[in-house]
Structure formats: structure tokens, C-alpha cells
Amino acid sequence: MYMKDVIVQNQIGLHARPATFFIQKANEFKSSIWVEREERRVNAKSLLGVLSLGIVGGASIRIIADGTDEQAAVAALVKLIESGFVE
């Protein structure tokens, strides 16, 4: 299991479009991936799960992955969040 904390950089947080980009990236990996905020953990590959966390800009979240490509998965998702979802 591999995890890393990250601050959401974009102003609107993980809502609608950014959440869709996040989930698409998470689905590129075989590992099980979760997003955790304030003691709540959801599947990072689930749009409803991610949206249910109500992640706003400036929020601290933890990305957790478990599987064969866990480090690559966490690194890619952290990079996406730190970029403010600019590809």
C-alpha cells in the first residue's frame, strides 16, 4: 500500500469536470485506489464517490493505492492535482 497527501490546487476543487479527469486517470491503473478526506474514504474510480467528498480548492486529501502499480498511480494522480488539472 502506498499513499500521499496533496493539496487541491484548482479553485473549484474536485467537482464535475476535474473529477471526471481524475477518475479517468485513476482508471488507467490496475491498483485499487481510494481518496480520503476528513476520515472518509471513497473509491477513486467512482465519480459519485469522489463528488460525495465535496472536495474544494485548498483542501488536503490523501490518495491511497494498493496493487502492482500503486506508486505510479499515486504519483500520476498527485501530479494531476498539483497541476490544477491542466494537461
Confidence of residue 85 (pLDDT cuts 50, 70, 90): confident
Specify the pLDDT at position 86.
Answer: 72
Enumerate residues 6+ apart whose C-beta is below 8 A from 39. none
What tens digit of pLDDT does each residue of 15-68 get? 889 999 999 999 999 999 999 999 999 999 999 999 999 999 999 999 999 999
Specify the pLDDT at position 16.
Answer: 87
CA dihedral of residues 81, 36, 52, 72 (deg, nearest 10): 40
Specify the pLDDT at position 73.
Answer: 98
39 in any annotated domain: yes
- All cell numbers assigned to 24: 479517468
Q: Is residue 15 within 8 Å of residue 85, measured between CB atoms?
A: no
Above 60 in pLDDT, residue 87? no
Specify the pLDDT at position 33.
Answer: 98
87 in any annotated domain: no
Specify the pLDDT at position 59.
Answer: 95
Above 60 in pLDDT, residue 79? yes
40 in any annotated domain: yes
28 in any annotated domain: yes
State which residues form the domain around 32: 2-82
Which residues belong to the active site? 15
CATH number assigned to the domain comprising residue 26: 3.30.1340.10
Number of domains within the chain: 1
